[in-house]
Amino acid sequence: MPSRFVHLHTHSEYSLLDGSIKIKNLVNRAKKLDMHALALTDHGNMFGAVKFYRTARAASIKPIIGMETYITRGSRFDRGRKKGEQTLIDHLILLARNNHGYRNLIRLASAAYIEGFYYKPRIDFEALEAHSDGLIALSSCMRGVVAQAALASGLGDAQAKAERLRSMFGDENFYLEIQDHGIREQKLLREALWEISLKTGIPLVVTNDVHYLNREDAEAHEVLLCLQTGSDLEDPRRFRFQSKDLYFKSESEMVELFSDMPEAVENSVAIAERCHVELDKKRLHLPEFPLPEGYDSSADYLKHLAYEGAKKLFDVISDEIKERLEYELAVIEKMDFPGYFLIVGDIVNHAKKMGIPVGPGRGSAAGSLVTYALGITDLNPLEHGLLFERMLNPERVSMPDIDIDFCFERRDEVIKYVIDRYSEENVCQIITFGTMAARGVVRDVGRVLKIPYSEVDRIAKLIPGQPGTTLREAIDSVPDLKRLIEGNETYKRLIDFSLVLEGLTRHASTHAAGMVITPTPLVNHIPLYRSNRGEVTTQYDMKSIEAVGLLKIDLLGLRTLTVIDKTIRMVDLNHGKRILVEEIPIDDERTFKLLREARTVGVFQLESSGMRELLKNLQPGSFQDVVAVNALYRPGPLGSDMLSYFCDCKHGRTKISYAHPMLKPILEETYGVILYQEQVMEIASRLAGFTMGEADLLRKAMGKKDQKVMGKQRKKFVKGAAEKGIPKLTAEKIFGQMEKFALYGFNKSHSAAYALISLRTAYLKANYTAEFMAANLTSEMDNSDRILILLDDSRSHGIEIVPPDINVCAAEFRAREGKIYFGLAAVKNVGAGAMAHVAKEREENGPYVSLFDLCSRVGSRIVNRRVFESLIQSGALDALPGHRAEKLHNLDKVMEHAIRRSKDKERGQIPLDFKTAISPYEKSLEPCAEWSTQEKLRNEREALGFFLSGHPLDKFRALLGMIATMSTTTLKGSSNGKHAVIGGLVSQVKTTFDKKQNPMAFVTIEDAEGQAEAVVFSDVLEKSRGAIHEDRVLILQGKVSRRNGGEGKLLVNSVLPVDDEHVPASKEIHISIDMDNTGHEVLENLKRLLSGHQGEVKLFFDMRQKGKRACVIRSRSLCVKLDHELISRLTASVGADNVKLIPGSSRV
């Protein structure tokens, strides 16, 4: 049945915070309503154009690419006469009639952001006239050019505007747009536009200004508008639409609504029939790589470079190497990608020449011998069994994807090189879009509904933090969340709106790594966007860039490469040894000892608590084991028994068996387990005769769990296996194993490349620990939690930490003589630039001798009062005369005198040697009371983010070790429901109310390893309210709550205070006795000690022999009374590690 109406004025979620329709839902709705064509006309941009085009085509709906542009009444270059003044703008719908029109639409969308952006992306009539060919224009809504003229100035001006637009676009390409959403002004405009049409012959067309999908979504859309404008629903002055009819109406609704204007309805179909845009998806638009003389093609030059590189890497070019190179080069040439490989190779090798650290590879690119020969990757794919087809499949045409890691600090230099090499007009970064994820949308909607923050925060925190978790999944999987919503109408409304808005695009930003390079200026191919930071990016995202055949490269900044580089430089400085990163051995015994002991804090990819547990269980002994570790520690295998099975197979606890002998050479390195996607491909190839290209398609189908495709592949596999003499039942069994493990299978090329970085960092830590840890600390200077972890780990390796000192420390952390000197730039509020200036002045003119000397020499413009205050609090100025309180007390006056001294010096009013001038603050400070230890530590934590010179827990550390079952770090990684006792300092208490309006508290508790969150519900809070406050030392008992991969928190059921008077109430004390090494005299002394502290706490002796528990003996005749004296003397007698306390119930 032919269409009677087509939607030509439609806004998707890419009309940011204005449209609330996801493109997939928009197309599905059109399909359901049996519509054959549809236009997308987002406000001022083409963000969603390609995604819409592909989605509509896949649904057999004709896509019409358009835009509702903003037209300024003046010049697009005007920015208003006064600061903050907005220029007047009108709207106009533009539809691409053909490919030439599509390109003009791209130019207009680009000009709106690059040249005309001022509050909105604007064009002007000059730009419109220059790029009107191939476009159809509609006069738009009430904010349209013609409508605004009619409402403001009358028919005469409106008719003049309409005629101007008709002359610009042509008689057949401009339409007066009629809308009816029940708004009074639209009724008036309907008559006015009808009259203009009668007078001028300009045709009419009806549209619906679609902003949301269904009529019932109108209120959720109002919430979205509040997010855009920063208002709330109760605000009577907020921006709102005047109608609830801006939904996606059916054809019959539109025909009925405009039954008196059938021709205008039919014109929507006529316009749609005239629009034909074909995006050339098959043709690649690659830039030309400049070839040196003597080479006729990119393929010839690529071959030359590949063989030259291979000669440097291999002593002999064997037949195997030559065959693989020739095969890869042939595939690359056939798929027309030689230029791509040349461009990537050129970028990587230029970076290396500039001394910019480059990663050894990432992703499937490590499977190519050509990339290895070109220097793009550092791994020999032949040696490690990596497959080229995993990267580039000759039977599946798609762009190769070579992502490159660069030094985090110097990535910008690489980007600059690319821009200089290929022209600023042809290179830019790629846009990315932030969406409203489950937690975020609940917080956003909660603000609009004016629900108290504490209540919204509580609901949001019940939603699992695992990326990709939807609100609906959270409601179904978290009973507490479901109960909370069902029992409260306000919360139900919050969730209902959130479900509608969840996943919508919220804002645009710049992709962290993606860049596009075009053969001719970018605006010939894609629309451009200018970010709020002034960066020019594409309007199309990554997938859309690839879909239109453009070259996309990911240039990533990897912090670890910076750490490696800084470590190597420090090793050279300290030991006179220049390490070449590519020559770091992958079989160093000290490295593997470190891995087997799981001492991997700071080691790339291997430092999480779960990963360290895996290392202990697996006991890696080879590079291949580390590759396996990287592949194993992911959500799929972690959610199964695969890790324990793999470890059992490695250590012989489970017998390795193969369904067929041909599997052994493929699976031997992974102990009979199918771990890598490449193994699936090899099994298909060797056992069933698949080409590697076909095997890659099988691998992809298994990953997608496409049952229809899998049924065909299974038959093909069984048939191919039969031709190799493999029985049908055996082939079926093998295919079943492949299906099962393919769900967890990982890209071996990526795992191997990253395992190489893991081993390089592990080598540096094992052999140059101080330098490696100092480099790590520098890389984390803006993260006090990480610094604390790294400092504690450094101390565990016997490294002394020299605290911040203005006269010996640099801006960065430095290792010297086995010590680590604290980096001054890690002090909060000081800045790396200011500290580099301070260090440089010291190196050039000698140590600072007083606070006055420091203030005088560094200048208040570079180092301001806040910087000096933080340096004093951190202890960085302790070497200068006066204690910390005195320095802070005198700081303002010292700075005032120092500034005066500097000005006098500039005017030539004091001797050039300013130390000879007299100031009352040069040698002494006005005295004041010194800070207490507690105040000193509190200020230190404020300046550093942690305690350094001491810790309020120091005097209780032995006691806490006896009673706590886990640290805060362990708690965060523990399994849900596990019993836990933790001890630490309360650093924050947030009180709120539960759903019954009973008080409860969220407590942040910190120990030597970091911080964790504890939840204290009303019954426990009531019993222990007097104990729970900041800066109090507590023992907390309870159960771990950990869901969907988030951090564990403690649900507290008991609170025990610790202070100078109180030892936590305990019901048992266990003393461990080593029977092999404990003499009779020690036991007698212990007996006398315990007899002198009799009380009610049960006493147990854990007797150990040959490192194992032999028996547990409970003393029938003696119970003890716990106090600090007993704890201290037990620690001295048997060691704190040999005493454990079992806590009792709450005591406050």
Per-residue pLDDT of 290-317, as tens digits, reads: 999 999 899 999 999 999 999 999 999 9
Q: Is pLDDT at 812 greater than 90 in this prediction? A: yes
79, with CB counted inside 10 A (0-12, 13-18, 19+), is middle
If asked whether residues 854 and 979 sit together in one domain, one would say no
Residue 4 in domain: no
If asked whether residues 371 and 336 sit together in one domain, one would say yes
Tokens at 178, concatenated: 């009629």
* Nearest alpha-carbon partner for 836 in 774, 913, 778: 778
Taking a C-beta distance cutoff of 8 angstroms, is the pair 609, 788 a contact? no
If asked whether residues 1009 and 1073 sit together in one domain, one would say no
pLDDT tens column, 206-257: 999 999 999 999 999 999 999 998 888 888 888 888 889 999 999 999 999 9
User: Mean pLDDT throughout 569-585?
Assistant: 95
Q: Is pLDDT at 69 greater than 90 in this prediction? A: yes
Half-sphere CA count of 203, side-chain side, radius 13 A: 20
Q: What is the pLDDT of residue 725?
A: 93
How many other C-beta atoms can be found within 10 angstroms of the C-beta atom of residue 167?
A: 12
User: Mean pLDDT throughout 698-716?
Assistant: 83
If asked whether residues 847 and 871 sit together in one domain, one would say yes
Q: What are the CA-CA distances from residue 279 to residues 41, 270, 547, 867 (Å)?
A: 17, 22, 9, 56
Rounded Cα–Cα distance for residues 925 and 891 (Å): 9
User: Mean pLDDT throughout 704-732?
Assistant: 89
Tokens at 695, concatenated: 């095997």
Q: What is the pLDDT of residue 1045?
A: 62
pLDDT band at 838 (very low <50, low <70, confident <90, very high): very high
DSSP H or E segment with residue 517 = strand 505-517
Rounded Cα–Cα distance for residues 145 and 689 (Å): 66
If asked whether residues 939 and 964 sit together in one domain, one would say no
pLDDT band at 1147 (very low <50, low <70, confident <90, very high): very low
pLDDT tens column, 1092-1139: 888 888 888 888 877 777 788 888 888 888 888 888 888 888 887 888
If asked whether residues 550 and 565 sit together in one domain, one would say no
Residue 6 in domain: no
Rounded to 5 degrees, φ, ψ at 223 are -60, -40
525, with CB counted inside 10 A (0-12, 13-18, 19+), is buried
If asked whether residues 192 and 132 sit together in one domain, one would say yes
User: Mean pLDDT throughout 657-674?
Assistant: 93
Tokens at 1070, concatenated: 């266990």
The domain in which residue 177 lies consists of: 23-213+248-274
Taking a C-beta distance cutoff of 8 angstroms, is the pair 359, 563 a contact? no
What do you get for the CA distance between the two ends of the chain, in Å?
A: 80
1094-1105, strands of its sheet edge to edge: 1108-1120, 1094-1105, 1066-1074, 1139-1143
* Nearest alpha-carbon partner for 377 in 702, 749, 70, 106: 749
DSSP annotation of 1002: E
If asked whether residues 712 and 810 sit together in one domain, one would say no
Last residue of a domain, one of 944, 973, 997: 944
Q: Where does 974-1079 have alpha helices with state H? A: 1018-1024
Secondary-structure breakdown of the chain: helix, strand, coil percentages, each rounded to the nearest 5: 50, 15, 35
Q: Is pLDDT at 697 greater than 50 in this prediction? A: yes
Taking a C-beta distance cutoff of 8 angstroms, is the pair 383, 248 a contact? no
User: Mean pLDDT throughout 517-538?
Assistant: 93
Concatenated DSSP letters of 389-418:
GGT--TTS------EEEEETTTHHHHHHHH
Residue 291 in domain: no
Taking a C-beta distance cutoff of 8 angstroms, is the pair 252, 305 a contact? no
Q: Is pLDDT at 1062 greater than 80 in this prediction? A: no
* 551-558 and 403-407 strand pairing: parallel
pLDDT band at 972 (very low <50, low <70, confident <90, very high): confident
Mention every residue, 6+ apart, whose C-beta is less than 8 A from residue 689. Answer: 720, 723, 724
Tokens at 348, concatenated: 């990587």
Q: Where does 809-911 have alpha helices with state H? A: 832-845, 851-858, 865-874, 884-906
Q: What is the pLDDT of residue 85?
A: 52
Q: What is the pLDDT of residue 998?
A: 83
How many other C-beta atoms can be found within 10 angstroms of the C-beta atom of residue 668?
A: 12
Tokens at 1119, concatenated: 């119970």
How many other C-beta atoms can be found within 10 angstroms of the C-beta atom of residue 809?
A: 24
pLDDT tens column, 354-374: 999 999 999 999 999 999 999
Q: What is the CATH number of the domain that holds 1040?
A: 2.40.50.140
Residue 521 in domain: yes
User: Mean pLDDT throughout 691-698?
Assistant: 88
Q: What are the CA-CA distances from residue 859 to residues 246, 865, 902 (Å)?
A: 61, 11, 8
- The answer to which of 95-109, 491-505, 738-752 has the lowest mean pLDDT is 738-752
Angle between helices 184-200 and 155-169 (to 10 degrees): 60
User: At 191, which amino acid appears?
Assistant: E
Q: What are the CA-CA distances from residue 72 to residues 125, 145, 354 (Å)?
A: 8, 10, 47
Q: Is pLDDT at 259 greater than 90 in this prediction? A: yes
Residue 522 in domain: yes
Q: What is the pLDDT of residue 918?
A: 52
Rounded Cα–Cα distance for residues 649 and 656 (Å): 6
If asked whether residues 923 and 974 sit together in one domain, one would say no
More confident residue, 787 or 1065: 787
Q: What is the CATH number of the domain that holds 51?
A: 3.20.20.140
pLDDT band at 914 (very low <50, low <70, confident <90, very high): very low
Tokens at 756, concatenated: 């190489």
If asked whether residues 365 and 419 sit together in one domain, one would say yes
Q: What is the pLDDT of residue 1148?
A: 43
pLDDT band at 907 (very low <50, low <70, confident <90, very high): low
Mention every residue, 6+ apart, whose C-beta is less than 8 A from residue 1134. Answer: 1071, 1072, 1073, 1082, 1086
* 427-435 and 505-517 strand pairing: antiparallel
Report the Cα 309 to chain-centroid distance in Å: 36
More confident residue, 998 or 779: 779
pLDDT tens column, 872-906: 999 999 999 999 999 999 999 999 888 887 776 66
State whether the Cα torsion 918-921-922-924 is positive or negative: positive
Residue 34 in domain: yes
- Kindly report the average pLDDT of the chain as a whole number: 90
Radius of gyration of the chain (CA): 35
929, with CB counted inside 10 A (0-12, 13-18, 19+), is exposed
Q: Is pLDDT at 1014 greater than 60 in this prediction? A: yes
User: Mean pLDDT throughout 371-382?
Assistant: 96
Q: What is the pLDDT of residue 1044?
A: 62
Taking a C-beta distance cutoff of 8 angstroms, is the pair 272, 64 a contact? yes
Concatenated DSSP letters of 668-704:
GGGTT---BHHHHHHHHHHHH---HHHHHHHHHHHHH
Q: What are the CA-CA distances from residue 951 to residues 813, 1032, 1034 (Å)?
A: 22, 12, 14
* Structural domains of the chain, count: 6
Residue 479 in domain: no
If asked whether residues 332 and 202 sit together in one domain, one would say no
pLDDT band at 153 (very low <50, low <70, confident <90, very high): confident
Q: What are the CA-CA distances from residue 700 to residues 389, 681, 706 (Å)?
A: 12, 10, 9
User: Mean pLDDT throughout 1069-1076?
Assistant: 83
pTM, rounded to two decimals: 0.85
Concatenated DSSP letters of 1079-1147:
-HHHHHHHHHHHHTTEEEEEEEEEEEETTEEEEEEEEEEEEE---HHHHHHHHHHH-GGGEEEEE-S--
Residue 667 in domain: yes
Rounded Cα–Cα distance for residues 695 and 710 (Å): 12
Last residue of a domain, one of 733, 762, 791: 762
If asked whether residues 624 and 637 sit together in one domain, one would say yes
* 1066-1074 and 1139-1143 strand pairing: antiparallel
Q: Is pLDDT at 117 greater than 60 in this prediction? A: yes
Q: What is the pLDDT of residue 922?
A: 61
Half-sphere CA count of 219, side-chain side, radius 13 A: 11
* Nearest alpha-carbon partner for 401 in 369, 424, 371: 371
User: Mean pLDDT throughout 709-720?
Assistant: 90
Report the Cα 950 to chain-centroid distance in Å: 34
DSSP annotation of 548: T
pLDDT band at 181 (very low <50, low <70, confident <90, very high): very high
Q: Is pLDDT at 1082 greater than 90 in this prediction? A: no
In 972-1107, beta strands by DSSP E: 979-993, 999-1007, 1010-1016, 1033-1041, 1049-1058, 1066-1074, 1094-1105
Taking a C-beta distance cutoff of 8 angstroms, is the pair 90, 145 a contact? yes
pLDDT band at 798 (very low <50, low <70, confident <90, very high): very high
pLDDT tens column, 411-459: 999 999 999 999 999 999 999 999 999 999 999 999 999 999 888 988 8
Q: Is pLDDT at 740 greater than 90 in this prediction? A: no
Q: Is pLDDT at 921 greater than 60 in this prediction? A: no
Last residue of a domain, one of 889, 916, 944: 944
Q: Is pLDDT at 463 greater than 70 in this prediction? A: yes
User: At 382, which amino acid appears?
Assistant: L
User: Mean pLDDT throughout 87-112?
Assistant: 95
Q: What is the CATH number of the domain that holds 811?
A: 1.10.150
